[in-house]
């Protein structure tokens, strides 16, 4: 008589259960990881405008650097062309104000999947008397947006 070789049904079921548990733990962590990676596109969209604010304030002063002023590179309230597909960039502040707000918003959730439409990354800059701009970040949108918002 030949000796049976191979796995029993219970051994296979245990392996399947272990794999299922690992997948249940890993998938949510991976989904936030991919959202964080896509959120960097919103951060990149604000990069050039952030630099434009800092350079303008240092060279011309806040009063000459209102958002949307031609030649400053600082976006205004009307959405500017996106740095990356699916992102809309707007700005406000400067002029008589000593603060700036730059907001990058997801407008095409298909291109920036898995980020939902209207998730946004906001930079709020405050200009000190010496011309130094201090930036604060925040995110808005989905209920769990702070799980993947860059700090």
User: How confident is the model over 33-82, as pLDDT tens digits?
Assistant: 888 888 888 888 888 889 999 999 999 888 888 888 888 888 888 776 55
pLDDT for res 21: 95
Domain range for residue 59?
9-147
pLDDT for res 149: 87
Say how many domains are in the chain: 1
Q: Looking at the domain assignment, is residue 102 inside a domain? A: yes
Band of pLDDT at residue 24, cut at 50, 70 and 90: very high
Q: Looking at the domain assignment, is residue 33 inside a domain? A: yes
Q: Looking at the domain assignment, is residue 23 inside a domain? A: yes
Give the mean pLDDT of 121-135.
91
H-helix segments, the chain: 9-60
- Rounded Cα gap, residues 100 and 37, in angstroms: 26
Q: Looking at the domain assignment, is residue 2 inside a domain? A: no
CATH value at residue 51: 3.30.700
How far is CA 78 from its chain centroid? 20
pLDDT for res 147: 85
Q: Looking at the domain assignment, is residue 4 inside a domain? A: no
pLDDT for res 10: 94
Enter the pTM of the model: 0.76
């Amino acid at each position: 008589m030949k000796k049976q070789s191979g796995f029993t049904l219970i051994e296979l079921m245990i392996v399947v259960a272990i794999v299922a548990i690992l997948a249940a733990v890993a998938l949510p962590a991976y989904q936030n990881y991919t959202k964080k990676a896509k959120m960097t596109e919103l951060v990149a969209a604000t990069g050039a405008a952030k630099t434009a604010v800092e350079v303008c304030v240092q060279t011309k002063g806040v009063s000459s650097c209102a958002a949307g002023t031609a030649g400053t590179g600082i976006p205004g309230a009307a959405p500017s062309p996106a740095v990356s597909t699916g992102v809309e960039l707007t700005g406000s502040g400067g002029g008589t104000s000593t603060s700036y707000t730059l907001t990058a918003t997801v407008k095409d959730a298909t291109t920036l999947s898995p980020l939902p439409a209207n998730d946004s990354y906001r930079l709020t800059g405050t200009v000190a008397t010496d011309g130094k701009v201090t930036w604060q970040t925040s995110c808005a949108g989905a209920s769990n947006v702070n799980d993947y918002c860059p700090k």
